[in-house]
Amino acid sequence: MMPRAGLLALLGASVLLSAPALAQNLSFEQVSRGRELVTAGDCVACHTPEGAKPFSGGRAVETPFGNILTPNITPDRATGIGAWSDDEFVRAMQQGIGRNGEHLYPAFPYTAYTKIKRNDLIAMRAYLNTLEPVSNAVDVNQLPFPFNMRFVMTFWNALFFTPGEFKDNPQKSAEWNRGAYLVEGLGHCASCHTAKNALGGDETAMEGGNLQNWFAPNLTGDKRVGLGGWSADDLVDYLKTGHTAHTAASGPMAEVIEFQTSKMPDADLKAMAAYLKDIPPSPDKKPTPLAADDAAMKAGAAIYADNCSACHVGSGEGLPKLFPALKGSAIVQSDDPTTLLRVILEGGRSVATDGAPTAPAMPAFDWKLSDAQTAAVATYVRNAWGNAAGAVDARSAASMRGALRQE
């Protein structure tokens, strides 16, 4: 009789052999590099609903046109991508075309993934093949007519999609090129940080974008609303730990840091920082700060002293690694005050990472401040201590309050 361990090994082998073209990809190098790349792409975030098995799909991605459910990308042959060939996988990633030739929607960021090199995609596939196959059939397309007609994507692609793998810029360092590859490709930072036009195509790159009642800030070198005031080390700290001396990540970026950047190698984070720090500032639209004797500023100053100064302190400088500085903050001064209003009304918890486990949180003030008071304190912090940004009106606060109730 065959020893039991041997029988199990044989069974295992037959399962592996039944998946086509798999064995060649299961080298240690392929799988471990693939895991790093899948992490750098944060695939797990969109492809895993809360509480579900990783990568089993079904999480709703909100778009202005309706919801799309993410597919199951575990190697289950019937409901996942186990039956796909490598070429089919590469075509989906680089061209946004599904296994049966259908167009995928750009909620799946193939507009960025098109830059990923083929050998990296093969490594990612190799890693995905090591996952536990989960049977979970997802009806991806939840869009209303006419957006549920996939052929409309042909026209969209013609307008907004430039396919093609990333090409190194020989004028720049290897580090810069690695950073550009990660930021523009796998990291798909522009998915959130670039505003979308009415058809969902990109506006000017990296000048910030509004989604899910958050504003993903400007990542250009602008000093007031972008990364101009950040050092490359700040950026590495932020991506690695979610915290710097002056700011903390919360909301969707907290998730990016938790699942993606905190797990990336330092060299990649440094490369991303080098590239991001090299994006020239967007055109300066710096408004004149409101005068201190403006009525909203006076009301805002009083509300700030009573409600905010215990943590963010009177000078707006916060406490290092605990309470973010409002003075000089890009989030506070962004033309779009969405995140500021959201955090005042709803509060927010910063991300916990191994490097910064504290995860301090801000309490909600929606029960305590009226719309007018919320607007006044937002206006105040946008224009105190050398900050400058447009006044916020009570209607914006009311509309954010309403939007948060819908969530």
Q: Tell me if 104 contacts another protein by CB under 8 A.
A: no
Which of 243, 290, 270 shows the shortest CA–CA distance to 386?
Answer: 290
The CB-of-244 to another protein minimum distance in angstroms stands at: 12
Among 156, 230, 365, 380, binds another protein (CB under 8 A): 365
The CB-of-88 to another protein minimum distance in angstroms stands at: 36
How is 330-374 classified by DSSP, letter by letter?
HHHH-SS-HHHHHHHHH-EEPPP-SSS----EEPP-TTTS-HHHH
DSSP 8-state assignment for residue 194 = B
Q: Pull the structure tokens for residue 83.
A: 């039956």
User: Would you say 37 or 352 has its CB closer to another protein?
Assistant: 352
Residues whose CB falls within 8 Å of the CB of residue 310, separated by 6 or more in sequence, listed in order:
none
Q: Tell me if 27 contacts another protein by CB under 8 A.
A: no
User: Would you say 289 or 347 has its CB closer to another protein?
Assistant: 347
The CB-of-296 to another protein minimum distance in angstroms stands at: 22
Which of helix, strand or coil describes residue 328?
Answer: coil
User: Would you say 20 or 357 has its CB closer to another protein?
Assistant: 357
Among 12, 64, 265, 363, binds another protein (CB under 8 A): 363
Taking the C-alpha atoms of residue 327 and residue 331, their distance in angstroms, rounded to an integer, is 10
Task: Please return the burial class of 151, using the count of CB atoms within 10 Å of its CB with bins 0-12, 13-18 and 19+.
Answer: exposed
Q: Tell me if 364 contacts another protein by CB under 8 A.
A: yes
- Cα dist from 263 to 39, 113, 127, 393, whole Å: 7, 20, 16, 40
Site residues for another protein, 304-333, by CB under 8 A, read 307, 310-311, 319-323
# chain residues binding another protein, by CB under 8 A: 24
Q: Name the phi and psi angles at 128, rounded to 5.
A: -60, -30
Among 197, 204, 358, 370, binds another protein (CB under 8 A): 358
User: Would you say 143 or 344 has its CB closer to another protein?
Assistant: 344
Given the rule CB under 8 A, which residues bind another protein? Answer: 307, 310-311, 319-323, 347, 349, 352, 354-365, 368
